[in-house]
Amino acid sequence: MPQLEQTEFFVSQLFWLVVTFSFLFIFLWRISLPRIGNVLEKRERKISEDLTAAKELQIEAEKIQETIENQLKQARTDSSDMIKSSTLSFQEKAQAELNKLDNELDIKIEKSAQAIEKNKNDSVSQIQTQINEITRLTLSKVASFDISDDEIKKAVNSIERSIN
């Protein structure tokens, strides 16, 4: 077996093992491994930073969502209030308008009634005068009585009273 027979190369193998392995160890220790470590660390840091940023943004987004919802809620209540109040005020206005119209109509009716009453009274008094005149004329034509207006009036009135 050459491994055990070629003892003359033991020193050579050990020497080159020490040389190559020392070089490898120092090179990896000083150059390669810190480089890879840095890359990994940098990536780790970047990922965690991104994750934190994402978390913060999510919280912010949630806040914004909440504000939007609150605003929407506020707007809904506001609009319903507005509708309610405007409905109420319209009703009041309409009521007032109606009341005014009622009053005006009442006044007009009152006036008309008064005018009718006055016309009736006028007509009645005119009829009375005419009755008196006709009575006097009839009496003077028929019996040539000359009766004073006062007497006629009295007679008519007494008849009227008896009728009534």
Partner 1 sequence: MAAKDSPLKQFEVIPYSKTEVANYDISFTNSSLSMVITVAVITLFLTLTVNPRSLVPTRMQLISELMYNFIAQLLSDTVGDNAKKYFPFVFSLFMFVLIGNMVGMIPYQFTFTSHIVVTFALASVVFIGVTILGFVNHGIKFFTFFYIPGVPFYMHPLLIPIEVISYLSRPISLSVRLFANMLAGHTLIKVFASFVVAMPFFTGALPLVFIVALTGLEILIAFLQAYVFAILTCLYINDAYHLH
Interacting residue ranges for partner 1, rule: CB under 8 A: 1-6, 8-18, 20-21, 23-25, 27-29, 31-33, 35-40, 42-43, 46
Residues near 153 by Cβ (< 8 Å), separated by ≥ 6? Answer: 132
Nearest-approach distance from CB 4 to partner 1, in angstroms: 7
For 75, 148, 152, the CA distances from 145, given in Å and listed in that order, are 98, 9, 11
C-beta closer to partner 1: residue 9 or 90: 9
**28 versus 82: smaller Cβ distance to partner 1:** 28
Distance in Å, CB of 58 to partner 1, minimum: 23
Residue 97 has which token pair?
């308008």
Smaller CB separation from partner 1, 23 or 145: 23
Kindly tell me which of 25 and 145 has the beta carbon lying closer to partner 1.
25
Q: Taking the complex as a whole, how short is the minimal distance between the CB of residue 38 and partner 1, in angstroms?
A: 6
* Number of residues that this document lists for the chain: 164
Helix (H, G, I), strand (E, B) or coil at 88: helix
Beta strands of the chain (E only): which ranges?
A: none
